[in-house]
Amino acid sequence: MTSPLPPFDWDIFCTVVDNFGDIGVTWRLARQLEREGHGQVRLWVDDLASFARICPGLDPALDGQWVEGIHIQHWQGPLPADAIPASVVIEAFACELPAPFIERMAEQSPPPCWINLEYLSAEAWVEDCHGLASPQRVGRLSLNKYFFFPGFTPRTGGLLCEQGLVAERDRWQQDEAGLAAYWASLGLPPKAQDELRISLFTYESEALKSLVASWSQGATPVTLLLPMGRALSDVLCGAGLESAIGTARAGDLLQAGQLAIKLLPMTSQAGYDRLLWSCDLNLVRGEDSFVRAQWAARPFLWHIYQQEEEAHLVKLAHFLDHYLEALPAEDGQWLRELNLALNRGEDCSELWAQWPIHGTLWQQHARSWSQKLLREGDLVTRLVKFLESRI
């Protein structure tokens, strides 16, 4: 006979839409809440197989299990009859809670605080909608659902950043012996003085082919760290290595002119953070890797999932308005055009050729940007403060 589960302080529901983005954000949120002493967390996830690829301790065959102090529950079919809603219920990215669970929430006294954790956006309207309540009728009862928007300004919910992350990053980046050991663990020599090391975790894009071709044909040695995934074919085509597409495996080291391509397996979130911290430039996608690239204090390019009517380009433009504000006009314009070219699938070779002109200032800006983001507090700090007057 199994022991009954303890009462939970947090229920977080996540539907895995894009393999790693949604679950990446909610897993980081759950761990930060638990580690920083904000209470017991239960995480409901519909796709444990995808989740397990970034959480090696997870067994996809189990419906319920504890991992790193968090109870992970497979969310499929009817919920367990003894599932009592926690004090705070978070539906991540409007994933729609099960109707019976909402009924249980409404029947509790006092009812849980219901949070809809929205997608990250830099658009101006987010400030007006952040924290608003939406009354929900549940039979003869009612509940308030609050909208919580991550963002880049003091009037939003901020970004996920666990305590101690920045100090850990700085120690890592200043430890030359540790970095050499890290590269050796990937089967690479220490980074040469004139070499660039670039990580790439993006969607498919014709623009990648031109970037990769520029790296292979340029004067600067480049090592590309490429986790196995959707961009593999475009990268190998750009390098003139089409014949390797069908046989490429994690661990391979491929050479094309000045470009070395190191293929990496999927890793844990902590492992991905260390990769971002170690590289000179990071190409990232979605939301989770996008945020972690900003905490890496390194230059990065953001590849957004393409949306109808090019809505993704609007999101990119609003973010760049914030990100480029402190840069001189010429540097900011170059970086805006490079981000747009990547997201439009355009030839990036002429823009990349200007890296030697703008790269040093971009590196300085990346560090000051990460410092600016934390001045008003991280997402969990702001979320707990938001809840204090509502529970």
Return the active site residues.
22, 287
Buried b (16+ CB within 10 A) or exposed e, 269-305: beebbbbbbbbbbbbbbbbbbbbbbbbbbbbbbbbbe
Do the beta carbons of residue 255 and residue 236 sit within 8 Å? no
3-state helix, strand, coil split of the chain in percent (to 5) is 40, 20, 40
Separation CA 100–CA 82 (nearest Å) = 12
In 3-state terms, what secondary structure has residue 303? strand
Helices (H), 250-354: 269-278, 288-295, 311-323, 329-344, 349-352
The half-sphere exposure of 152 on its side-chain side, counting CA atoms within 13 A, is 23
Distances, alpha carbon 260 to alpha carbons 201, 226, 246, 264, in Å: 16, 10, 18, 13
Separation CA 118–CA 91 (nearest Å) = 9
66, 100, 105, 68: which is closest to 86 by C-alpha? 105
Do the beta carbons of residue 159 and residue 373 sit within 8 Å? yes
CA-CA-CA-CA torsion for 252, 234, 93, 31, nearest 10 degrees? 20
Buried b (16+ CB within 10 A) or exposed e, 6-29: eebbbbbbbbbbebbbbbbbbbbb
Query: What does 216-268 look like in DSSP terms, one character per residue?
Result: HHSSS-EEEEEESSTTHHHHHHHTT-GGGTTT--TT-EEEETTEEEEEE----
